[in-house]
């Protein structure tokens, strides 16, 4: 590797998490793994391959490009695209054998104008039962959509919704959404679509309420070891798969009252060991993490001063030489930093932190402690490949 900074993805932990989740949801429910946004920053193809070996049935992505990336890398399993694709791209989607989300009649009519392929479009119909994002809210909207769905070249394969608050302690709104989804499902049957794959549960809903998941679950967070219901005694033991490390490149002893960082953003409060580490906001370690800490020698080392583009400074608990490993995410000794700790610090979701880590950070893949793959600057590598679709 050509950098002192790297992310580690423990694929055996993803396999472990899948087994745990499978035990909780039972053998009959289909397991769809959400691998959008490069598998929440863990690497889409690497995660998809280990997921298939661990018994996952299908994948969910957000974008057409994400689905094509999986197909180009040999993933043949069913893929559902969760957001409406650009209607002009319909033939590409069909040629790649993707299932698409339909959330209104307008998209379907638009798509018609561009479809030249004779093959059928596989669709899952999305209901908005209360998230206020995508989907049909009213029965009347379904009434308008249904005739379009009956076209010969459309295969209606699924009906789904997404919860707004499945991870919250108060389940009132979750139950309301669930009831609305039941009603939508009845209407859907009445319109003449009885045999579709019905799904609603994300990680939180699937793990908390495994008896009400219908035919399939869509699991993201839990797959990566992010506990979707923090604080609740989870019935599964999830293991975080991702960690992020760097090494001290420079150490200095600064006297009390010295400034550190742009805009003189930190001033030493005593004589301090200040170390420079080569990871900054261009790696996804945003200014938001100022005031949080790293781990060095199993102890906390606070991030001091403003985080720079390529580097940041930390205050060491004692002298450590250049080359010392610094952990920004993950465990050292008895201490660990979880994505949820970092998310809490920035006021965002844990997966917001993992998806922030940029392609500039090399990824090291491990299985049972053995290195099984190393990737550097992945986006630049991929750009050299011809983009062949269809």
Ligand X SMILES: *Cc1c(COP(=O)(O)O)cnc(C)c1O
Q: Which residues are catalytic?
A: 36, 262
Choices 51-59, 140-148, 197-205, 208-216 (CB under 6 A): range interacting with ligand X? 197-205
State the nearest-atom distance from the C-beta of 31 to ligand X, in Å.
12
x/- string (CB under 6 A) for ligand X, residues 107-146?
----------------------------------------
The residue range among 10-18, 214-222, 229-237, 269-277 that interacts with ligand X, by the rule CB under 6 A, is 214-222
CA–CA distance, 367 with 10 (Å, rounded to integer): 6
- Please tell me the distance from the alpha carbon of residue 10 to that of residue 255, in angstroms, as a whole number: 41
Helices 139-149/172-190 angle, 10° precision: 40
Question: Which string of x and - marks every residue 18-37 that binds ligand X (by CB under 6 A)?
Answer: ----------------x-x-
- The answer to the question of residue 79 lying near ligand X (CB under 6 A) is no
User: Per CB under 6 A, which region of 47-55, 212-220, 265-273, 359-367 contacts ligand X?
Assistant: 212-220
CA angle 139, 143, 147 (to 5 degrees): 155
Please state the closest distance from residue 29 (CB atom) to ligand X, in A.
Answer: 14
Is the CA virtual torsion 183, 189, 190, 193 positive or negative?
Answer: positive
Question: Could you tell me which of 85, 137, 135, 134 has the C-alpha nearest to residue 111?
Answer: 85
| Token pair belonging to 120 | 């059928």
- Contact between 354 and ligand X by CB under 6 A: the answer reads no
Instruction: Name the minimum Å distance from CB 166 to ligand X.
Output: 8
Residue appearing with tokens 């991702």: 242
- Our finding on whether 228 is near ligand X (CB under 6 A) is yes
DSSP string, 245-313: EEE--EEEEE-TT-EESGGG-EE-SSSEEEEEES--GGGT--GGGTT-EEEETTEEEEEES---SS-EE
Pick out residues in 149-168 that bind ligand X (CB under 6 A).
162
CB of 153 to ligand X, least distance (A): 25
Whole-number Cα distances in Å, 187 to 159, 182, 192, 194: 11, 9, 9, 10
Q: Name which of 130 and 278 has its Cβ closer to ligand X.
A: 130
Nearer Cβ to ligand X (223/274):
223
Q: Are 324 and 295 in contact (CB under 8 A)?
A: no
Nearer to ligand X, 36 or 363 (CB): 36
CB of 193 to ligand X, least distance (A): 20
Q: Which of 179, 356, 351 is nearest to 281 (CA)?
A: 356
**Shortest distance in whole angstroms from residue 204 CB to ligand X:** 6
Residue 219 in contact with ligand X, rule: CB under 6 A? yes
Which run of H or of E encompasses 8? strand 6-10
Q: Which residues bind ligand X (CB under 6 A)?
A: 34, 36, 82, 162, 202-204, 218-221, 228
């Amino acid at each position: 590797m050509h950098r002192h900074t790297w992310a580690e993805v423990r694929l055996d932990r993803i396999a472990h998490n899948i087994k745990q989740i499978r035990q909780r949801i039972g053998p009959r429910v289909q397991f769809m793994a959400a691998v959008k946004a490069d598998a929440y920053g863990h690497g889409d193809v690497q995660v998809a391959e280990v997921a298939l070996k661990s018994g996952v049935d299908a994948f969910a992505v957000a974008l057409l490009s994400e689905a094509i990336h999986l197909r180009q890398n040999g993933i043949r399993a069913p893929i559902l695209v969760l957001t409406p694709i650009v209607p002009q791209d319909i033939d590409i989607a069909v040629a790649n054998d993707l299932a698409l989300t339909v959330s209104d009649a307008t998209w379907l009519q638009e798509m018609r104008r561009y479809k030249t392929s004779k093959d059928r479009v596989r669709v899952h119909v999305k209901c908005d039962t209360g998230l206020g994002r995508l989907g049909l809210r009213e029965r009347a909207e379904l009434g308008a959509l249904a005739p379009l769905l009956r076209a010969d070249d459309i295969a209606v394969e699924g009906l789904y919704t997404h919860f707004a608050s499945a991870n919250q302690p108060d389940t009132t709104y979750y139950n309301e959404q669930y009831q609305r989804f039941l009603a939508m499902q009845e209407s859907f049957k009445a319109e003449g679509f009885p045999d579709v794959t019905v799904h609603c549960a994300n990680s939180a809903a699937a793990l908390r309420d495994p008896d009400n998941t219908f035919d399939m679950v869509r699991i993201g967070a839990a797959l990566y070891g992010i506990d979707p219901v923090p604080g609740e005694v989870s019935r599964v033991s999830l293991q975080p798969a991702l960690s992020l490390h760097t090494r001290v490149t420079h150490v200095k002893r600064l006297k009390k009252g010295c400034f550190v960082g742009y805009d003189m953003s930190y001033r030493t409060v005593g004589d301090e060991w200040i170390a420079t580490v080569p990871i900054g906001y261009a790696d996804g370690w945003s200014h938001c993490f100022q005031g949080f800490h790293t781990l060095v020698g199993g102890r906390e080392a606070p991030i001091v001063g403003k985080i720079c583009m390529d580097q940041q400074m930390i205050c060491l608990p004692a002298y450590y030489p250049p080359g010392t490993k610094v952990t920004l995410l993950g465990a050292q000794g008895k201490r660990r930093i979880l994505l949820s700790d970092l998310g809490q610090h920035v006021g965002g979701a844990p997966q917001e932190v993992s998806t922030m880590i940029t392609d500039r950070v090399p990824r090291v893949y491990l299985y049972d402690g053995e290195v099984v793959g190393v990737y550097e600057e992945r986006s630049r590598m991929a750009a050299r490949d011809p983009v062949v679709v269809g």
